[in-house]
Amino acid sequence: MSGRKKMIAALLSYGPDVFRKKILRFQKMVTIFVGILLLAFAFNLPAPDLALAASDTLEITGEGVANPMILTRAQLEIMDQEQYVYSTINTWPTKNLYIGRGVKLNHLLGPDQAGMKPEATLVKFTSIDGYAVLLTVKELFKDKRYYFPNFKVSGGSDSDGHLPGDPSGKVEVEPIIALSSAEGSANPKYMNDLHTFLLMLGQRTVTEQTGNLFAKYIHKIEVLTKEPEKWDEPQANPPGGTVPAGTMVALGNLNTDDDKIHYTMDGSTPTFYSPMYNSIASRWWSARADVLGSINHPLGPIEKNTVIKAVTIGPGKLDSDVVTFHYYVEGEDGYPAAAGIVLTVDRKEASVEGETYILEAAPYLDSKAGRTMVPVRFISEALGAGVAWDPETRQVIISDEGKEIKLTIGSKEVQINGRSQSIDCAATILFGRTFVPLRFIVEEALGAEVDYEPATKEITITR
């Protein structure tokens, strides 16, 4: 009789009441076990490994390496080993410690091993269960990463991963492929090879969420040369303009998961050092509905004219463009510093005194002349000037408070009240719209002021 049949026969030999108790006890054990697994996953506790075993070989491949190879555990063990402690935060978010010992990633991809090529852009780590982590070369090797020993000093518990810790005393660490590690402790005596090969890396800032990047059971590292994608820009609700006092502003993007929205409310350009909006990743929203609104909380209340700037930053892609949202409170006098006309190079969205407009063609940079080109009709009319088009002479004629400016398509010669002068970049027609050099039309012709922010490519015009 098979083992399975013997088990069934044994169960059937019990009386009905005993049989029912056995089944209930079994169901209770299963429920407890599943609960332990869920808690372990959410809070970074060690969880039992049911099916996966440590990797025995590590393949390094891809068009971004000169010497593809397959390394055995024994070959990795005789290489130089480094031991680091890592501070981590996962996407729940919960704070946790790791310690690991293994081979530096830059050694494995160095000239004496796989030989990463200069054109390499991305590195993909794949586990034996198919889980994959994608990181840019910049993230791995050009950005400095640290262990923050005081990252849990935040006034909360480990489960309050959204509270920024103390960044003092940081220690620079490098990414490794760990052959032994321990989770939840900095004590090396707890290290084992259960999760090897394990990718381990530090945090760039004390708030960065890296726990989801600690990929276990890695068996393949693939170095790629394709152009990295860019994260989508944050969106705001409401999107800007005139708002009632007390307005709250919600930010979001397509994923809102391990891609994080960082923002500022003082007009400065946001970076990953700026406050994080979506500490709880979207994968956990239903499980954390009771605290979601207090952690991923809207910005505000907006009680005075305010500029919010935001950027999406996440693993494996380039940062999004920085976007700017202007809010003007009803009844408030004056405007924020960035008021007036706001445009962004290569973006069709613009605003005039807080009202949003969608352009038919975006401002762009003329790389040959080194000049920013803007749509003449939009700029002129926004500043209160009149614009006319003479198809016979192919001239744009701008009238502004007794001043007449004539620009001829394709010509660097312009006329202001009948007097000729030269500009270094001719007016041109693109996408059916006439474009002119920004600083000439705004400063020289219409007497307004221009401010350009290179980091965000944002143009602000005031008069």
Supply the DSSP string of 92-153, one letter for each residue.
Answer: S--EEEEEEEEEEHHHHTSTTTT-B-TT--EEEEEETTS-EEEEEHIIIIIS-EEE-TTTT-
| Cα 305 to the center of its chain, rounded Å | 27
pLDDT confidence of residue 31: 53
Which contiguous run of DSSP H or E holds residue 327?
strand 323-329
> Encoding tokens for residue 411?
């010509």
- DSSP summary character for residue 169: T
Q: How far apart are the first and last CA of the chain?
A: 93
DSSP E strand boundaries for 401-456: 403-408, 413-416, 419-422, 428-430, 433-437, 449-453
Give the SS3 label for residue 299: strand
- Which CATH architecture is the domain 340-463 placed in? 2-Layer Sandwich (3.30)
Picking from 172, 106, 165, the residue whose alpha carbon sits closest to that of residue 144 is 172
Question: Among 212-216, 233-237, 295-299, 386-390, which stretch is predicted with the lowest mean pLDDT?
Answer: 386-390
Output the CA–CA distances (angstroms, integers) from residue 260 to 10, 208, 363, in the order listed: 55, 9, 28
* pLDDT beyond 80 at 338: no
pLDDT confidence of residue 14: 40
pLDDT confidence of residue 148: 97
pLDDT confidence of residue 209: 97
Question: Among 24-33, 117-126, 361-370, 408-417, which stretch is predicted with the lowest mean pLDDT?
Answer: 24-33
CATH code for 230-337? 2.60.40
Of the chain, the percentage scoring pLDDT greater than 90 comes to 55
* pLDDT beyond 60 at 40: no
Give the SS3 label for residue 381: helix
Span 154-178, pLDDT tens digits: 777 898 999 999 999 999 999 999 9
451 vs 99: CA distance, rounded Å: 49
412 vs 271: CA distance, rounded Å: 40
Of the chain, the percentage scoring pLDDT greater than 70 comes to 87
CATH code for 57-224? 3.90.420.10
pLDDT confidence of residue 314: 97
Kindly tell me the burial class for residue 294, based on how many C-beta atoms sit within 10 Å of its own C-beta (0-12, 13-18, 19 or more): exposed
* pLDDT beyond 90 at 5: no
42 vs 383: CA distance, rounded Å: 55
158 Cβ contact partners less than 8 Å away, ≥ 6 residues apart: 43, 94, 95, 96, 152
Mean local confidence (pLDDT), 251-274: 93
* pLDDT beyond 80 at 345: yes
Question: Among 50-54, 124-128, 245-249, 419-423, which stretch is predicted with the lowest mean pLDDT?
Answer: 50-54
Q: Where are the alpha helices (DSSP H) in 44-104?
A: 73-77
Binned at pLDDT 50, 70 and 90, residue 189 comes out as very high
pLDDT confidence of residue 35: 56
For the chain, the farthest-separated pair of C-alpha atoms sits apart, in whole angstroms, at 110
Picking from 363, 364, 244, the residue whose alpha carbon sits closest to that of residue 300 is 244
Question: Among 268-282, 326-340, 445-459, which stretch is predicted with the lowest mean pLDDT?
Answer: 326-340
Amino acid at 288: R
Give counts: helices (H), strands (E), the chain: 8, 32
Picking from 45, 39, 89, the residue whose alpha carbon sits closest to that of residue 281 is 89
* pLDDT beyond 80 at 2: no
Asked if 361 and 347 count as a contact pair (C-beta separation under 8 A), the reply is no
User: Nearest-5° angle of CA 99, CA 100, CA 101?
Assistant: 145
Mean local confidence (pLDDT), 179-203: 96
pLDDT confidence of residue 332: 61
Half-sphere exposure of 275 (CA within 13 A, CB side): 15
> Encoding tokens for residue 90?
């996962």
448 vs 441: CA distance, rounded Å: 9
pLDDT confidence of residue 155: 74
DSSP string, 217-269: SEEEEEEE-SPPPBPPPPEEES-SEEE-TTEEEEEE-S--SSSEEEEESSSPP
* pLDDT beyond 60 at 334: no
Mean local confidence (pLDDT), 188-202: 95
Mean local confidence (pLDDT), 197-206: 97
Asked if 46 and 216 count as a contact pair (C-beta separation under 8 A), the reply is no
Q: What is the 3-state secondary structure (H, E, C) of 334-372?
A: CCCCCCCEEEECCCCEEEECCEEEECCCCCEEECCCCEE
Kindly report the average pLDDT of the chain as a whole number. Answer: 86
Asked if 176 and 200 count as a contact pair (C-beta separation under 8 A), the reply is yes
Question: Among 55-59, 99-103, 149-153, 326-330, which stretch is predicted with the lowest mean pLDDT?
Answer: 326-330
Mean local confidence (pLDDT), 27-40: 51
Q: Which residue has the higher pLDDT, 53 or 210?
A: 210
Mean local confidence (pLDDT), 236-261: 91
Span 74-133, pLDDT tens digits: 999 999 999 999 999 999 999 999 999 999 999 999 999 999 999 999 999 999 999 999
Mean local confidence (pLDDT), 354-366: 84
Mean local confidence (pLDDT), 31-40: 51
